[in-house]
A and B are shown apart, each in its own frame.
Chain A
């Protein structure tokens, strides 16, 4: 094996010589990867969001006097291919950092890749708590509100409804399971007499809505906690409406207020569900109005939640590089920790203690307006306000992740 090692060392040496010349004053390359073909409903608006951000930043002269160039790849919705794509971006394209991913298992695989290869990774979308907690590492930062944060945001309204018997329905994979676990835990803490009368775990994308809806109703719950999204949500809402099971019941539903999932429902939009979401046409802060106007001008279409997420991802990266004054990985990590930026959602911060951004979400009630679903009585919940205590976070997150 000795000769193998020396050959390898020689090869690495060649690689080092080869790479030093390439780092001239060209554009700063940012790697971006996502499951574009598999999740187009969320990711097309997301792509438009980050493209717009890059165009705006470059029009203002770029960062550190250099233009930003995003090299974007489809990860084929598969962690194995995603790791290959990440390696390609790093080794062949020589990107300064990688960003993106949507599905949780892919996000986790790339999180671990970042740790192994010591590359900065900005996870834009994946929701699993593990990215910042159990599997967190010093190279990974995450923008979007995690599963736990989404559930925690809904708690005040859930408690205010004062319902005792709860039925739970969720897609049968980690996202659904951990959302339900968080819901049970948080509800029991504040309302010890709460009961969970039935649990339906449905195959992702294949919910047998009629039977599931009936099973929920047969358990005679006062409230329903729903984690279904996408096509499952549409089927669930329609069957539930036709069979009249939402009447006189409180429904608390995760993500259902996001245009990606709410818009397809049209007339079937349920009235008065307590949801997290993004009522893009009703938010009247000046920053957000400016964002919507620019977005509509650029794309001739309205934003979905993916749009600001994509925009803020690139905005964060640009600000971090500016603060770091370099594209050195260690300097960028130092810059990201505690990075504060003003976004269309308001000010956000990348928390030092777990690398989670405090970008929040809107909590409100679904309603039908002019044949389209939207949200009413909503408020913005800052993502920093609903975190567990720092001590608890430190217990879940590996120590070396904060070194």
Chain B
């Protein structure tokens, strides 16, 4: 390889860096001010490219293309403002991260809406008028539009820098990023500020999408493909730092370009194809950066975040009524397979719902009482599943030891290793490090063809002997799920659980009274991961096969949605949330052809009716009724 080739690839990296920067910068601004993890950011970007396509092809010509970019920026900004006003404004008082659930529903609705409006074919837009050709640099041809893109990123960066540094609006954004309550106390109209910030962030996503039109076809997979990249850019750069976001985009793009330039190389007799690293490069960068610099490249330690949410009630043991209800439900679950002649699907769906309950409960354990928002919980689910599956397939073990020993052990090992790094961070940085670890595990499993079966996974891991019978397997799942849930519940009420919540609510005071903050968090992380591994093992044998999807970020997000649906601040929330999500998806997918939109709308209704999750809100209402009854008439 020549120096010229490397230099030229570095130039390619500059163009990609601009694209990446535009993907992330809007998210950074929105998160900085509103603390909303906006899952719909990729959807807004996708709308940007589709709207730009329509302008470029229907209006046509230079105006259609360049004007289309302006139109899509403004339209997407307006859509963002609308989402904020109609939806998010109603739920700012909900517990932390609950808004994620609402934006997740938006993703589903936008995805089906886009399919309905623009159809199912990929739409490749025209080349940019005036920039269709290429120029000769270093003896190679560089597209003119790529040269234009190299300058777009820095230009947007400069404009935003000026906006933040020199205007009143910018000062308010910076102030709100540091302490939004104080900004409110000083008499600034927070509602308007939030709407404007959301519109700005959305507009930047729309701009990024529209500018991508000549480089990739508008397609329906963009929304989920991008959201990971967007978070990486924001977090590697440091929350709220737009210069950091550009720097992060630059580093990631250049590393990818380098991997591609290196291609297949033989080092010390071992041949390795560096281009395969592009699958996971951004997450490797993120893991390294967060381990070395806990607040990203240019971020600063976050001030104390006072949430707008109602403070959490102390956990209470179940009262007689709840216990009675749980007993009845359990009894029904135990006898359900007996009716399988008339209701054969009940056991099949029941197994999936129970596994979802165990998965969600283990995630809730670190999210709720632990206060550590894992975005990579599927890693432990997948480690359990692959551990159990490979123990049977490659290790020749039988079902029960694989399920009861290998699955939890594999997840334990992963959780112990990753948890050790993760508990050294907090807040969104912790969340993103879990995401990075999750994606790294995923990419290893996805590419290790000879051991894990690569993208096809492992097949032929059905339970053996008696367990091959569906009903008996169902009872095993029920028994392990109930044990797992009760175990974590017991831990929450035990002194360790009290300590865990103390650490979450105020690490400084907890440390002052002698609690070992990191150790407690680490143990909690390991406990949750291990129980999750059992859920993964159960899943592997229920399906007879395992694929990398069990580890993918999509499943982690499903888990978060389950926990939030049930209610973050209740101990029994995930037991309802997990099965509810599974049941909703299973039912809607069968009944409705636009099932994603339907699922999104149902979740939106739940979000608005139960702003503390289903169980959380019911508990809240019961308490309210009880208080009213106690009051003298």
Using a CB–CB distance below 8 Å, which chain A residues touch chain B? Answer: 1, 4-5, 7-8, 10-12, 14-15, 17-18, 37, 40-41, 44, 73-74, 76, 78-80, 83-84, 87-88, 91-92, 104-105, 108-109, 111-113, 115-116, 128, 130, 135, 172-175, 177, 198-203, 205-206, 208-212, 214-215, 217-219, 230-231, 234-235, 238-239, 242-244, 263-266, 268
Cβ A218 vs Cβ B459 within 8 A: no
Cβ A264 vs Cβ B545 within 8 A: no
Chain A proximity of B501: nearest CB distance (Å): 33
Given A105-B456, A214-B12, A266-B124, also A4-B545 (CB < 8 A): no
Cβ B275 vs Cβ A201 within 8 A: yes
Chain A proximity of B13: nearest CB distance (Å): 7
The 7 closest A-B pairs by CB, nearest first: A40-B120, A14-B341, A173-B455, A91-B344, A92-B345, A109-B545, A18-B341
Roughly how many angstroms separate A76 CA and B581 CA in the complex, as a whole number?
Answer: 14
Which residues of chain B in 99-153 are interfacial with respect to chain A, using CB atoms and an 8 Å cutoff? Answer: 115, 120-124, 127, 132-134, 140-143, 146
Cβ A211 vs Cβ B215 within 8 A: no
Roughly how many angstroms separate A211 CA and B586 CA in the complex, as a whole number?
Answer: 42
Roughly how many angstroms separate A4 CA and B348 CA in the complex, as a whole number?
Answer: 18
Cβ B273 vs Cβ A201 within 8 A: yes
Query: A199 to chain B: which residues have CB within 8 Å?
Result: 263-264, 273, 275
Query: B455 to chain A: which residues have CB within 8 Å?
Result: 104-105, 173-175
User: 6 new A-B pairs (CB below 8 Å) besides A199-B275, A238-B214?
Assistant: A84-B352, A84-B586, A88-B348, A173-B446, A201-B273, A201-B275
What mask results when residues 332 to 365 of chain B are scored 1 for a CB within 8 Å of chain A, else 0?
A: 0000011011101100110010000000000000
Cβ A211 vs Cβ B216 within 8 A: no
Among B121, B127, B225, B543, the residue within 8 A (CB) of A79 is B543
Cβ A206 vs Cβ B337 within 8 A: no
Roughly how many angstroms separate A173 CA and B549 CA in the complex, as a whole number?
Answer: 13
Query: A80 to chain B: which residues have CB within 8 Å?
Result: 352, 539, 543, 547, 549-550
Cβ B216 vs Cβ A15 within 8 A: no
Among B146, B214, B276, the residue within 8 A (CB) of A172 is B276
Q: Which of B299-307, B405-413, B468-476, B509-517 contacts A (4 or more CB under 8 A)?
A: B468-476
Q: Which of B163-171, B239-247, B253-261, B481-489 contacts A (4 or more CB under 8 A)?
A: B253-261
Chain B proximity of A378: nearest CB distance (Å): 23
Query: B220 to chain A: which residues have CB within 8 Å?
Result: 40
Task: Please give me the residue from chain A that is nearest to B144 by CB atom.
Answer: A242
Roughly how many angstroms separate A145 CA and B628 CA in the complex, as a whole number?
Answer: 70
Q: List 14 A-B contacts (CB under 8 A).
A: A8-B472, A11-B340, A17-B341, A41-B122, A74-B589, A74-B595, A105-B548, A113-B545, A115-B460, A211-B16, A211-B260, A218-B5, A234-B216, A238-B127
Roughly how many angstroms separate A49 CA and B141 CA in the complex, as a whole number?
Answer: 44
Roughly how many angstroms separate A210 CA and B1 CA in the complex, as a whole number?
Answer: 17
Could you tell me how many residues of chain B have their Cβ less than 8 Å away from some Cβ of chain A? 83
Chain B proximity of A161: nearest CB distance (Å): 23
Given A44-B120, A243-B134, also A111-B278 (CB < 8 A): no
Cβ B216 vs Cβ A112 within 8 A: no
Given A15-B344, A177-B454, A215-B261, also A7-B338 (CB < 8 A): yes
Roughly how many angstroms separate A164 CA and B460 CA in the complex, as a whole number?
Answer: 42
Task: Please give me the residue from chain B that is nearest to A17 by CB atom.
Answer: B341
Interface membership of B217, Cβ < 8 A: yes
- Please report whether the interface of chain A is mostly helix, strand, loop or mixed according to DSSP: helix
Among B120, B141, B214, B349, the residue within 8 A (CB) of A84 is B349
Which residues of chain B in 174-227 are interfacial with respect to chain A, using CB atoms and an 8 Å cutoff? Answer: 214-217, 219-221, 225
- Please report whether the interface of chain B is mostly helix, strand, loop or mixed according to DSSP: helix
Cβ B459 vs Cβ A135 within 8 A: yes
Given A4-B472, A5-B466, also A235-B260 (CB < 8 A): no
Interface membership of B8, Cβ < 8 A: yes
Query: A11 to chain B: which residues have CB within 8 Å?
Result: 337-338, 340-341, 471
Query: B457 to chain A: which residues have CB within 8 Å?
Result: 79, 105, 108-109
Cβ A208 vs Cβ B256 within 8 A: yes
Interface membership of B449, Cβ < 8 A: yes
Query: A84 to chain B: which residues have CB within 8 Å?
Result: 348-349, 352, 543, 586
Chain B proximity of A263: nearest CB distance (Å): 7
Among B124, B459, B471, the residue within 8 A (CB) of A111 is B459
Cβ A264 vs Cβ B273 within 8 A: no
Cβ B256 vs Cβ A243 within 8 A: no
Cβ B549 vs Cβ A78 within 8 A: yes
Chain B proximity of A352: nearest CB distance (Å): 23
Roughly how many angstroms separate A40 CA and B595 CA in the complex, as a whole number?
Answer: 14
Cβ A108 vs Cβ B279 within 8 A: no
Roughly how many angstroms separate A378 CA and B357 CA in the complex, as a whole number?
Answer: 55
Given A4-B472, A112-B545, also A15-B341 (CB < 8 A): yes
Given A84-B349, A84-B586, A244-B134, also A265-B472 (CB < 8 A): no
